[in-house]
Structures are given as C-alpha cells and as structure tokens.
C-alpha cells in the first residue's frame, strides 16, 4: 500500500513487486524537480542520460559524459529523502569491468543507490556480475536502447518478431541471473513486456511497453509536454490534461500508474 512517509530501499521495491504494488518512476536532473518528485511520492527517480537531449539539446544521449552524470546525480540526490535514486552509466563508460567499477563508484559516491546500463551481451553480463560482486546495485535496460541508436537505425521499437522477442526474454533471464535488481523495458510490444515481467522475480519498469510491467517510468519533460521536437507516442502530457500545477501533474501521473489507468491503450503497441 502506498505510504508517502516510507523511505524506500531496494528490498522495498522488490516487496512492492512481490505484492503487485505498482512502482512509479520518473527522471529528474536537478534538485528542484527531484524535491518535488520526492514530495509527491515518486518511488524511483532516474538521473537519466536523457539529459543529453532534454537539458543539453543534443539529438541523442551519446554526448553525455561521466562528469555530466556525476554533476546531475549529486544535485538530485541532495534533494531526495524517500525515493530510490538510480543513475545512468553514460555511453562508453562501462566497456570493461575496471572502467565500469570506476564509473559506478563515482555515481554511488555522490548519492546514487543504483546504476543503470544498457544491453545483455556476454561482456555486459560479466560487467554486471563484477559490479554486483562489489555491492553495486544494477538496473538493466532492454528493448529500445538509446545508446545503440545508430546501430538500431534510430529510436525504433524492438522485439516485434518472434525470434527477437525470444532473444529478449532470454536476455532478461540472463540479466536477472547476473544480478540486476531492476529492469527497464523500453519500446517493445505490450505482450512481450508482460511475458518478460511474468518470467522474472525482479521488478520491471515499462516505458512504451504497455501496462503489464511492475511499474512505469517516463521522462519528466515528456510528462510536462516540454520535450523539444517530436513527442513520443507513449508519453502523456499531464499539464495539457488540465493539471493545475506541475506538482499536480506529477501527482496525477503517480495516481494513474498505481490505479492502472496509465498507460492507456493509445500509449503502447500490441505487437
């Protein structure tokens, strides 16, 4: 049951998953927004490398550096009391076990409680195991991988054919075995996201992946309708829906995720 006074931990997120309580997550990049998210009861705050696009004005997340992530993670963490803070490991910052440990240490030391990395290659699984072995909690990320945008040919939905869906389910199981404590599923068919969530014991957060995940995550600027350029199909502009303030818009999002009203069918693709 949602308790705004409860300070959340990773075991608490796992308990929410076990008891089918929806997890509410959003991105934040500064102390002011992070404080607001925390006060209205957001469960997970992701300091995303999406800041490269919504803060820095780039077309992709690839220009974001470790120094950028440290700066923004420190700012967010300084304002958060309740939520679990997760920080992205930026592009080319975890190519080896040693490099990943150094990057993760820099983020944990400024307040992140978990680091996030993309993909499930054999090398990536080894890196995750090394991080977990050093008591660094890890969030995985499958589906549409922003750091692989050039290889994928753009921000394109993934897992739409049977073989790709099978590989993604296998990847999710391998990530869980490697030790990830949380998994983001982005831009995949709703049925596949549900199948992956049901196959795992760890919580999943969906973004453009339908209602069957353990919770939902959005880029805060999408929720407020201020993301530059083309708006993603899976986002809902809560200010345009009539919220009286930014805080009310964020609170409405949290209520709709917990009640199952968001995402609605127009926010996902069935197959």
- Catalytic center residues: 186
Which residue in this structure is represented by tokens 């708006």?
231
CB 228 within 8 A of CB 57: yes
Pairing of the two strands 182-186 and 84-88:
unpaired
In angstroms, the CA 66 to CA 3 distance is 34
191-195 contacts, C-beta under 8 A, 24 or more apart: 191/270, 191/271, 192/159, 192/165, 192/168, 195/165, 195/169
Which residue in this structure is represented by tokens 């929720």?
223
In angstroms, the CA 206 to CA 202 distance is 13
DSSP string for 197-216: HHH-SS-EEEESS-S-SSEE
- Residue 76 has a CB neighbour count (10 Å cut-off) of 30
* Torsion on CA atoms 197, 198, 200, 202, rounded to nearest 10: 60
């Amino acid at each position: 049951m949602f308790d705004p006074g409860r300070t959340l931990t990773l075991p608490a997120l796992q308990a929410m998953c076990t008891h089918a309580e929806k997890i509410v997550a959003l991105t934040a990049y500064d102390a002011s927004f992070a404080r607001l998210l925390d006060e209205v009861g957001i469960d997970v705050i992701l300091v995303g490398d999406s800041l490269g696009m919504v803060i820095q004005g780039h077309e992709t997340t690839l220009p974001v550096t470790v120094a950028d992530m440290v700066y923004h993670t420190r700012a967010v963490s300084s304002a958060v009391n309740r939520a679990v803070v997760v920080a992205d490991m930026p592009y080319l910052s975890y190519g080896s076990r040693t490099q990943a440990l150094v990057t993760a240490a820099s983020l944990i030391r400024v307040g992140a409680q978990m680091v996030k990395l993309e993909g499930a290659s054999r090398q990536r699984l080894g890196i995750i195991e090394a991080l977990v072995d050093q008591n660094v909690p890890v969030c995985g990320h499958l589906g549409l991988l922003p750091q692989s945008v050039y290889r994928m040919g753009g921000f394109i939905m993934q897992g739409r054919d049977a073989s790709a869906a099978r590989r993604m389910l296998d990847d999710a199981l391998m990530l869980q075995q490697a030790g990830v404590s949380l998994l983001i599923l982005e831009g995949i068919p709703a049925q596949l996201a549900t199948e992956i969530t049901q196959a795992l014991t760890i919580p999943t957060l969906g973004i453009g992946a339908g209602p069957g995940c353990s919770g939902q995550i959005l880029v805060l600027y999408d929720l407020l309708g201020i993301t530059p350029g083309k708006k993603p199909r899976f986002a809902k502009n809560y200010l345009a829906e009539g919220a009286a303030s930014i805080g009310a818009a964020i609170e409405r999002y949290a209520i709709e995720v917990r009640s199952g009203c968001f995402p609605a069918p127009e926010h996902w693709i069935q197959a």
